[in-house]
Structure 1
Amino acid sequence: MRRLFPIFALPLAACGSQTPPPKSTPAAVSAPLPAPLHQHNDLIGLSANDLVEHFGSPRLQIRDGDGTKLQFASAACLLDAYLYPGQSGGGLPRVTYVDAYRRDGRSMAPQDCAAAIEAH
């Protein structure tokens, strides 16, 4: 009889209460982050093509030696971007200095003027 006991115990063990394995919860799916806003305070280093892409055609273009001044305008302000080639004198001219001012001549932050021009 001892030998039969393990055989009878197997069906009873199968009927015992079994807890189902814990369900794995899927990882939270995060929505993609919105595209970063254009940083108007980071115009230094842009090329003339980059500026035109952001602001449209310049109102004024002045060449002086190896430098170029591009002026962009909105109803509220004017933005002057000064482009020069690299220190070696070659390569694509890039913005090295930016100046912005209101139509009445008062100075203003370049990033505020750039935002006004893009909104125009």
Structure 2
Amino acid sequence: MRSAITIGGSALLLAGCVSAPQAIQGPEPTPPVISTAGLERVLGHDARSLEALFGEPDLDVREGPGRKLQFAGPICVLDAYLYPKGRHEPVVTYVDARQPDGRDIDRASCVAALIAAKKR
């Protein structure tokens, strides 16, 4: 019986000596590239330019130095995020788009759809 305890105790001690497998070192992950093609009429522009392009925003939210303008049409909803650059007027630094039911839509397609809807 004593030898069974000794064998069991030895097995537990050896188990503590086993090291965890080392992770394979690979290249650092790179952030995804987000295309801005088709967004030239929005990115870098101020609120007045957006209103001239899309009409009056459906939502205008200000938080600290930032501002979000939301434009909604039959095809999509566009959120434009404006932040000040130096001492200049806040400009669009990022846009997000979705279909009215919340599903994703290409941002440039949404911009084009909102411009087309305003022209009607």
For the criterion TM > 0.5, the same-fold answer is yes
Aligned to 1:66: 65
Structure 1 distance, partners of 2:114, 2:38, is: 11
1:50-74 deviation line (CA, Å, top 9, x unaligned) = 1001000000000000000000011
Structure 2 distance, partners of 1:67, 1:55, is: 20
Structure 2 distance, partners of 1:102, 1:66, is: 28
- Secondary structure class of the residue paired with 2:108: helix
Deviation, structure 1 residue 48 = 0.4
Structure 1 runs of 4+ with >6 Å offset: none
Bigger Cα displacement from structure 2, 91-100 vs 106-115: 106-115
Output the aligned Cα RMSD: 1.3
Unaligned runs of 5+ in 1: 1-38
1:27-48 deviation line (CA, Å, top 9, x unaligned) = xxxxxxxxxxxx8421210110
Unaligned runs of 5+ in 2: 1-36
Aligned to 2:39: 41
How many matched pairs?
80
Query: Percent of aligned positions with the same letter in both sequences?
Result: 46
The structure in which a higher percent of residues are helix is 2
Structure 2 distance, partners of 1:54, 1:40, is: 14
When normalised by structure 1's length, the TM-score is 0.63
Aligned to 2:55: 56
**What amino acid is aligned across from residue 104 of structure 2 in structure 1?**
S
Q: Is structure 2 residue 95 aligned with structure 1 residue 95? A: no
When normalised by structure 2's length, the TM-score is 0.63
Aligned to 1:104: 101
